[in-house]
Chain A
Amino acid sequence: MTDAIDQGATPPAGSALRLHRELSEIWRTGPGLQRLAAVNHSILGIRFMVTALAFFAIGGVLGMLTRVQLATPMSAFMDVGTYNQVFTMHGSIMLFLFAIPMLEGIAVYLTPKILGTRDFAFPRLTAYGYWCYLFGGTILTVSLLAGVAPDGGWFMYTPLSSNVYTPGINADVWLLGVTFVEISALTLAVEIAVSTLTMRAPGMSLDRMPVFGWYMLVTAFMMILAFPPLILGSILLESERAFGFAFFDPTRGGDPLLWQHLFWLFGHPDVYIIFLPMAGLLSTMIPVLAGVPLAGYRAIIVAIIGLAFMSFGIWVHHMFTVGIPHLALAFFSAGSAIVAVPTAVQLFAWLATLAQGRPRWNVPMLYVFGFFSTFVIGGLTGVMLAIVPFDWQAHDTYFVVAHFHYVIAGAVAFPLIAGLYYWLPLLTGRVAVYRLSVPAFWLIYIGFNLTFFLMHLVGLLGMPRRINTYPDFESWTFLNMLSSVGGFIMTIGFALVVVDLIAQIRYGRRIRRDPWHAATLEWAMPIPPAPYAFASLPHIEARADRINVGTLAPQLARGEGYLGATRNGWQETLGVHMTSGAPEQLIVLPRPTYLPLWTAIATAAAVLTMLAKLYPLTLAMAAVTAGLFVFAALNAGLDRDHGLLPVGRGVSVPVHTECAHPPAWWALVFTLIADGTLFTSLVFGLLFLWVAAPNWPPVAVPDTGLALSLVCILALAAAAFFARRALVRLVGRQAPRLFIALAALALLVAIGVAVVLIGGIVPRPSDHALGATAAALLTFLALHAGIGLLFLLVATLRLASGRAGPTRTIDLRLARLWIDYTAITGALAVGLVLALPALVALLGMRP
């Protein structure tokens, strides 16, 4: 392409139809099998949601099977082994394959539209995340059909999930399948955070961002921080099951409670990770349905930030009965109860909004009402369970089952259905003509309360969780039967919703514009949305949830906003300053490609070969996956400099490849935050075992090679130094290859030394938890140094192909950042391994 073409892209005010045709051609996804190459956020968002609904149906059927089993005492409907698989998969599917992916689907579909941009920052990553989710979910579901599904409860507690008590592959399926799905969650979390911060409509400063954007931003950071502890726990437990490493075995210095800590460090925030996006939907819908702006915008933002942090500090309230010291119980109890405050801030803000306005009693509002009543009940029973003496009585009874179904269903099901009815006109271009949704609501609402409210009572009468049958107690029997009847009523209601939605999609009345008189940007586009979302991007000069859709939409369609013309066949959108929303860079997005699908297939193959214990093949598949990532990186970006390009409204900005901080930079920063959480969790694990686990100190005296350890640290420091020098030379228009080679050599030395150190660990990782944690720390180092090598490889190849250069330095900047991080965490890891003998000696001072 020529500069003339670049400069000729000054957006004229053109005809809306011509612009639509040109943009549609550029942004389109091909028909037939080419759909597998889709990277567009609208397509992927819908796929996420539809797939999540399919898993919801599967999970729902499993839930109904448990209710059939428990409807009568001494039931022979399912044997105990099948029942264990069914209730474990019900919980796992609902949490990992429905709730989280559904919120991801909503985020993928709605966030770019509400924020006034054309797509997310990394469309190929979104597609990879979707395929990982689909394949991981399929592995889990197929295991159920094969009779080898996980059967240790959705939290997979050790020692039940250890080799001794679960010798088959049931637990491996959970550990590997769920971790696979979590890759999807983490990639999307990074994507949401980067996109929300850097890809809003121009002028949309943080104070003008719709509250939905804040909810998604906070949720994304929660996912970045919450998932790593569970990923770490799954890796440690799988390594114990596969290789005999002693992390959770108390006879070898491990501790089952370490699993509980790691699991609930994820598990408790996960409740809010699910709740907050749904609260975001409510905060977007309620003002529209009430006809007034949202009350307490700033207070809500403080509340959701507070809620996010608090959710990480109260994980112990799931462990009140495991023998935590009373003093600690006291402050974890207080912390758990206080979580009600930021939640209440949001509830009162919604009530105040409704009180100020004139609410419309339509279908979405009906489900909002359902949310209020169920969520408040769930919240109040949560406060009851936060009080330690009550928790001791109710722990592991059906009271807890009732509580979390009220919270999760109240927080997810009702807002979700409200949101479906609210945004379905946007997705389909049709509005409902039938009223099936009203009887469906009452069936769900009555069925839900009948099912789960009675569980409070049966729980208070002492019925424990997870039992497959029970004796014929008169009080339990009647309540269980009613619960099961309620479950079937609720299911009929959900089925009616599905019928109603299909009827709306197929036979609903066609509409062209916003049917709700909403004031957010997603309605200022063609309905249903074109693949490019906005024909041109708006300039925001006030709160972006108070816009006049009727005036703005035709202007944008005529190309009167930013990027109102096509250029070079590029899929263009704008990157903005994080806080002010000022345009900073022109982001050119990748076209449809099969690469995400192939990469996900390779990743799935790695997981499956690990399940089959074919470890050499696993390594090969992991190498293929890494190779595909390298291949994807080679073709990213543009192959020459373009300088400043006009983007409309008299503004010119550089292409993202020529910027200091393109989205890829922030993605790596946020990825490192997630990785740092994983490393911190590992260090926590070591210190926890040191202080709390039985059978410490080990019989064998820890022995670490001091000289080799120092060589390892020096090699990492040298790699960081050489990577920096390489970048300096590139910016100074000098050849950086020598320093890149030296950095790679230093990383190879660090990897080699780490491998030697792992081989010489005393006590052996399979003999004692001390050796196992030392091996984990050094493996962390070696793995990160290896990834550093991949960064350097990509930089070298892109320099050779001309895609990187003195003005396009992002490859080396990413490599430098990664290697800096590796050097710091690697030095800490080696330092901790060196400190192990001293830590063990300290244990001798115990009374």
Chain B
Amino acid sequence: MSAALPGRTHAPEDPARPFPMRDLWWLVPGFALWFTALSTVYALHHIGCTFGWSARTIHLGLAAALAIHLAAIGILCRIELRRGASRDFGHTGRFMHWVILGTLLAALGKVVLTLAPALFLSVCL
């Protein structure tokens, strides 16, 4: 039976420490950063056009916003890669590491694909 009943300890088949609850928040930042990148680029463009910034200034602002978000997700990926290698939280830890890394990499790709091409378009039209 795969769902065996006995078990005097909390997880007898997995002696590793439990994956910390607070680390569940790591499922959030990848796509949350994509969302903030989207919102920032949208708002920056709107504000720039409202206040008559030059096209060059707006493009630079958008590029800076994009670069900051890409760098942030990249740093998170690096941290997660290192953490995954250095910590042992058993099967749950390995699973969560895979899922967290998956969300971060997917978010990185999403930022590039959705926002980078917009940098080459005309502004304030």
Which A residues are within 8 Å of any B CB, using their own CB?
A: 201-203, 205-207, 298-299, 301-302, 305-306, 308-310, 312-313, 316, 325-328, 330-331, 334-335, 338, 342, 521, 524, 538-544, 546-548, 551-552, 555, 560-561, 577-583, 649-651, 687, 691-692, 842, 845-847
Chain A residue numbers with a CB within 8 Å of B8 are: 649-651
Bits for B29-72, please: 1 = Cβ < 8 Å to A, else 0.
00110110010011101110111100000000000000000000
Q: Are A579 and B1 in contact (CB under 8 A)?
A: no
A346 to chain B, nearest CB (A): 14
Chain A residue numbers with a CB within 8 Å of B20 are: 579
Which one, B4, B23, B114, contacts A331 given CB within 8 A? B114
Chain A residue numbers with a CB within 8 Å of B31 are: 305-306, 308-310
Q: Are B10 and A577 in contact (CB under 8 A)?
A: yes
A302-B106, A539-B6 given; name 14 further pairs at CB < 8 Å. A205-B91, A206-B96, A309-B107, A327-B122, A330-B121, A331-B38, A335-B38, A538-B3, A541-B3, A547-B2, A555-B5, A578-B21, A580-B14, A845-B51
Q: Are A579 and B18 in contact (CB under 8 A)?
A: yes
Chain A residue numbers with a CB within 8 Å of B81 are: none
Q: Are B7 and A539 in contact (CB under 8 A)?
A: yes
Count contacts between A and B, CB distance < 8 Å. Answer: 177
Q: Are A580 and B10 in contact (CB under 8 A)?
A: yes
In the bound complex, how far is the Cα of B94 from the Cα of A298, in angstroms?
A: 11
Given contacts A298-B95, A579-B18, A582-B10, contact A310 B118 (CB under 8 A): no
Chain A residue numbers with a CB within 8 Å of B117 are: 330-331, 334
Chain A residue numbers with a CB within 8 Å of B3 are: 201, 521, 524, 538-542, 544, 547-548, 552
The answer to the question of B85 belonging to the interface, with a C-beta cut-off of 8 Å to chain A, is: no
Name the prevailing secondary structure of the B interface residues: helix
Q: Are B1 and A551 in contact (CB under 8 A)?
A: yes
A–B complex contacts, Cβ < 8 Å, 18 sampled: A202-B10, A205-B19, A298-B98, A298-B102, A302-B99, A302-B103, A325-B123, A328-B118, A331-B118, A334-B114, A334-B117, A524-B3, A538-B5, A555-B1, A580-B19, A651-B10, A687-B43, A691-B47
In the bound complex, how far is the Cα of B80 from the Cα of A145, in angstroms?
A: 58
Q: Which 4 A-B pairs have the closest CB atoms?
A: A582-B10, A309-B31, A207-B95, A580-B18
In the bound complex, how far is the Cα of B27 from the Cα of A390, in angstroms?
A: 35
A601 to chain B, nearest CB (A): 38
Q: Are A330 and B92 in contact (CB under 8 A)?
A: no
In the bound complex, how far is the Cα of B38 from the Cα of A846, in angstroms?
A: 24
Q: Are A203 and B118 in contact (CB under 8 A)?
A: no
Q: Are B35 and A309 in contact (CB under 8 A)?
A: yes
Given contacts A205-B91, A331-B41, A579-B19, contact A302 B24 (CB under 8 A): no
Residue of chain A at shortest CB distance from B13:
A541
In the bound complex, how far is the Cα of B43 from the Cα of A312, in angstroms?
A: 16
Chain A residue numbers with a CB within 8 Å of B92 are: 205-207, 579-580
In the bound complex, how far is the Cα of B21 from the Cα of A649, in angstroms?
A: 24
Q: Are A542 and B47 in contact (CB under 8 A)?
A: no
Chain A residue numbers with a CB within 8 Å of B18 are: 205, 577, 579-580, 582
Chain B residue numbers with a CB within 8 Å of A201 are: 3
The answer to the question of B87 belonging to the interface, with a C-beta cut-off of 8 Å to chain A, is: no
Residue of chain A at shortest CB distance from B7:
A539
Chain B residue numbers with a CB within 8 Å of A305 are: 27, 31, 99, 103
Q: Are A542 and B2 in contact (CB under 8 A)?
A: yes
In the bound complex, how far is the Cα of B45 from the Cα of A546, in angstroms?
A: 51
Chain B residue numbers with a CB within 8 Å of A582 are: 10-11, 18
Chain B residue numbers with a CB within 8 Å of A207 are: 91-92, 94-96
Chain A residue numbers with a CB within 8 Å of B95 are: 205-207, 298
Chain B residue numbers with a CB within 8 Å of A847 are: 51-52
In the bound complex, how far is the Cα of B19 from the Cα of A548, in angstroms?
A: 27
Q: Are B118 and A327 in contact (CB under 8 A)?
A: yes
Which one, A326, A335, A521, A551, contacts B122 given CB within 8 A? A326
Which one, B2, B35, B103, B118, contacts A330 given CB within 8 A? B118
Residue of chain A at shortest CB distance from B36:
A313
Scoring A326, A560, A579 by chain B CB atoms within 10 A of each residue's CB, the highest score goes to: A579
In the bound complex, how far is the Cα of B124 from the Cα of A333, in angstroms?
A: 17
The answer to the question of B76 belonging to the interface, with a C-beta cut-off of 8 Å to chain A, is: no
Chain A residue numbers with a CB within 8 Å of B113 are: 334, 338
Residue of chain B at shortest CB distance from A198:
B21
Chain A residue numbers with a CB within 8 Å of B99 are: 298, 301-302, 305
In the bound complex, how far is the Cα of B71 from the Cα of A101, in angstroms?
A: 41
In the bound complex, how far is the Cα of B5 from the Cα of A542, in angstroms?
A: 12
Scoring A334, A541, A548 by chain B CB atoms within 10 A of each residue's CB, the highest score goes to: A541
Chain B residue numbers with a CB within 8 Å of A325 are: 45-46, 49, 123-125
B63 to chain A, nearest CB (A): 13
Q: Are B35 and A579 in contact (CB under 8 A)?
A: no
In the bound complex, how far is the Cα of B60 from the Cα of A46, in angstroms?
A: 57
Given contacts A298-B99, A691-B46, contact A581 B11 (CB under 8 A): yes
Chain B residue numbers with a CB within 8 Å of A302 are: 99, 102-103, 106
In the bound complex, how far is the Cα of B52 from the Cα of A846, in angstroms?
A: 7
Chain A residue numbers with a CB within 8 Å of B5 are: 538-539, 555, 560-561, 649
The answer to the question of B110 belonging to the interface, with a C-beta cut-off of 8 Å to chain A, is: yes
Chain A residue numbers with a CB within 8 Å of B46 are: 325, 328, 691-692
Chain A residue numbers with a CB within 8 Å of B106 are: 302, 306, 342
Residue of chain B at shortest CB distance from A661:
B21
Which one, A309, A541, A687, contacts B4 given CB within 8 A? A541
Residue of chain B at shortest CB distance from A204:
B3
In the bound complex, how far is the Cα of B20 from the Cα of A201, in angstroms?
A: 19
Chain B residue numbers with a CB within 8 Å of A326 are: 121-122, 125
In the bound complex, how far is the Cα of B51 from the Cα of A846, in angstroms?
A: 5
B112 to chain A, nearest CB (A): 10
Chain B residue numbers with a CB within 8 Å of A202 are: 7, 10
A598 to chain B, nearest CB (A): 36
In the bound complex, how far is the Cα of B123 from the Cα of A305, in angstroms?
A: 32
A335 to chain B, nearest CB (A): 5
Q: Are A580 and B125 in contact (CB under 8 A)?
A: no
Residue of chain B at shortest CB distance from A684:
B39
Residue of chain A at shortest CB distance from B53:
A847
Q: Are B96 and A579 in contact (CB under 8 A)?
A: yes
Q: Are A205 and B114 in contact (CB under 8 A)?
A: no
B58 to chain A, nearest CB (A): 9
Scoring A201, A316, A577 by chain B CB atoms within 10 A of each residue's CB, the highest score goes to: A577
Q: Are A327 and B32 in contact (CB under 8 A)?
A: no
B98 to chain A, nearest CB (A): 6
B25 to chain A, nearest CB (A): 11
Q: Are B7 and A203 in contact (CB under 8 A)?
A: yes
B100 to chain A, nearest CB (A): 9
In the bound complex, how far is the Cα of B32 from the Cα of A580, in angstroms?
A: 25
B101 to chain A, nearest CB (A): 9
Residue of chain B at shortest CB distance from A335:
B114
A303 to chain B, nearest CB (A): 8
A202 to chain B, nearest CB (A): 7
Chain A residue numbers with a CB within 8 Å of B107 are: 306, 309
In the bound complex, how far is the Cα of B3 from the Cα of A313, in angstroms?
A: 40
Residue of chain B at shortest CB distance from A524:
B3
Residue of chain B at shortest CB distance from A308:
B31
Chain A residue numbers with a CB within 8 Å of B11 are: 203, 205, 580-582
Chain A residue numbers with a CB within 8 Å of B124 are: 325, 327
In the bound complex, how far is the Cα of B121 from the Cα of A679, in angstroms?
A: 33
Chain B residue numbers with a CB within 8 Å of A338 are: 110, 113-114
A318 to chain B, nearest CB (A): 15
Chain B residue numbers with a CB within 8 Å of A306 are: 31, 103, 106-107, 110
Q: Are B47 and A312 in contact (CB under 8 A)?
A: no
A670 to chain B, nearest CB (A): 13
In the bound complex, how far is the Cα of B4 from the Cα of A552, in angstroms?
A: 8
Chain A residue numbers with a CB within 8 Å of B47 are: 691
In the bound complex, how far is the Cα of B8 from the Cα of A650, in angstroms?
A: 5
Chain A residue numbers with a CB within 8 Å of B6 are: 539, 649
Chain B residue numbers with a CB within 8 Å of A542 are: 2-3
Chain B residue numbers with a CB within 8 Å of A541 are: 2-4, 7, 13
Residue of chain B at shortest CB distance from A551:
B1
In the bound complex, how far is the Cα of B124 from the Cα of A846, in angstroms?
A: 14
